[in-house]
Each structure stands twice: as structure tokens, then as C-alpha cells.
Amino acid sequence: MTARARGELAGARRVVVKVGSSSISGDNAARIQPIVEALAEAHRRGTEVVLVSSGAIATGMPFLALDARPTDLATQQAAAAVGQNILIYRYQEALRPFAIVAGQVLLTAGDLENPAHRSNARRAMERLLGLRILPIVNENDTVATHEIRFGDNDRLAALVAELIGADALVLLSDIECLYTRPPDEPGAQPIRHVRFGDDLSQHEFGSVVVNSVGTGGAATKVSAARVAAAAGVGVLVTSADLVSEALRGADIGTWFDPDPSAPAPATTGTVRAPESVAAVDTLGR
């Protein structure tokens, strides 16, 4: 059932969680563990969880002796190829104590525009969820080009939430909620609730931020939240440090109401296979 308010997140059937590069790479790599613990707690309650995780390029940079995010496409692709492998390994190691297996899903913008590829992606993720696998989705940076990219993984997360009929989307950020202007500026006020169709044009969310490890910012999260909400998916924007509270339905962050006229997410009737989690014991051996 679609989450119509943040308090319903704890009982959501299917949730997409997105985390950005700056939250899990470099000095923040240790934050993978508490994020995974929160996902495992929701998984234990019976929630189907999909993680959209940035961070492949940022994770690969130190292994290519890069001090800053590369600007040329070929080096970005090389860093992503190295980093994606390491990133998934880190997630799987963090998931191991919970007997949860991760499944890697790499997508390009073209995959979601092509009907056959879109159908295949949906079917694969439905099966992973039916097997109680935790899909970890990222943009396929090794084949994507500057011309055909999602632009940021906030948008990818919104499109994935729509693709699989998620009940809610949680966009993790560096701050607890969105503000009417950059929070370090005088007069900035927190935005706690955005009703569907609310006019936000008077607020100053700023342009996309490009830092040493990734891209994103408040503006991209607002845009992605609008996409998901229009598809009938409720959206919470909050801090990565509060992911556990978010998935428990705590009164935190900025909540975007879903379009009340959007059709309810379709259920697929996938067959559970709880015994599949035993496979985690043999991974890496």
C-alpha cells in the first residue's frame, strides 16, 4: 500500500532508498554499516528494500591515484569499473551478519527508455525481491555517455521506484530536511511537508552541486521527489544519519505527498524463497 504519510513507512510493502557518493565514500565509507543495519531491520520486518547507491566513481578514485573526480569520460568509466566492484563487496560484507544477499543491478537511461530493456529490468528486480535478495542499483557508468545519463542518482531512484511500483522512496542527504533556501543562509526555514501540487518556485534550492566525489544537491532531490510523487510514490528526504529512524516512520525530514489520483502500485505475486538466504554463507569462500 502506498505510503501516504511518513508515519506509514514502517509498514510499507516496498521501499526504495537512495544514498549518495558523499555519504559512503572516502572518510565516510564506515557509514555503509549503519545504513545496511537500517535496511536489514526493515528487511526483517518484511519490507522489500531496493537500494540505489551512488559511489562507484568515488570509491574507485583512490585505487587510480586520483585526488578529485575525473572530468573525462574514459577515466570516469575506469574509476567506476574498479569502484563498483569494491562498493558491492563492501555492501555484501556489511550484509553478511544479517544473512542477506546483495544483487547488483546496473542501468542506463536508455534501459528505462527502451520497452524491452525496461521490462527485463523490472522482471529481474521483481525476481530478486521475490527471492529476498536486496537489489543494489547504480547507473552503469562504464557504458553510459554524457549525452545519455540520468544526470544524478536521485532521478534514477525516482524512476526505479516508479518502475517497480514502490510504496515509498527515501532520498538520503547530508541534512535532516530541505530548507526554503540554503540552510547556512539567514532566514532559511525547514520544509517539513510538501502537498502534491504545491508551488515551490519561491524557494531557493540552488543549482546542482558538483563536489570532489559526486553530483547532487537539494534541487535534484526536489526534482526527483516530484517525479516519484507524480507516479504515486510518497517521498521522504532526510539525512543519511537518520535512515533507521526514517524507515521506522519517525517524524523527520521533508515529506512529499504522492499524487492521490495515481493508481495503486501493482503487486506481482512473486514467490518467496526464504531458503535462498543460506547462499550468503558460501559467498567469498
Binding site feature residues for substrate: 54, 141, 153
Q: Hey, how many other C-beta atoms are within 10 angstroms of the C-beta on 73?
A: 12
State how far the Cα of 205 lies from the Cα of 200, in Å rounded to an integer. 9
Q: Which of 80, 69, 253, 58 shows the shortest CA–CA distance to 172?
A: 253
> What residues are designated binding site for ATP?
18, 173-174
The DSSP bridge partners found for residue 172 are 238
Alpha helices by DSSP H, the chain: 21-24, 32-44, 56-60, 73-95, 109-113, 115-130, 153-163, 218-230, 243-247
> What residues are designated binding site?
18, 54, 141, 153, 173-174
State how far the Cα of 280 lies from the Cα of 272, in Å rounded to an integer. 17
| CB-based contacts of 148, cutoff 8 Å, min separation 6 | 108, 109, 110
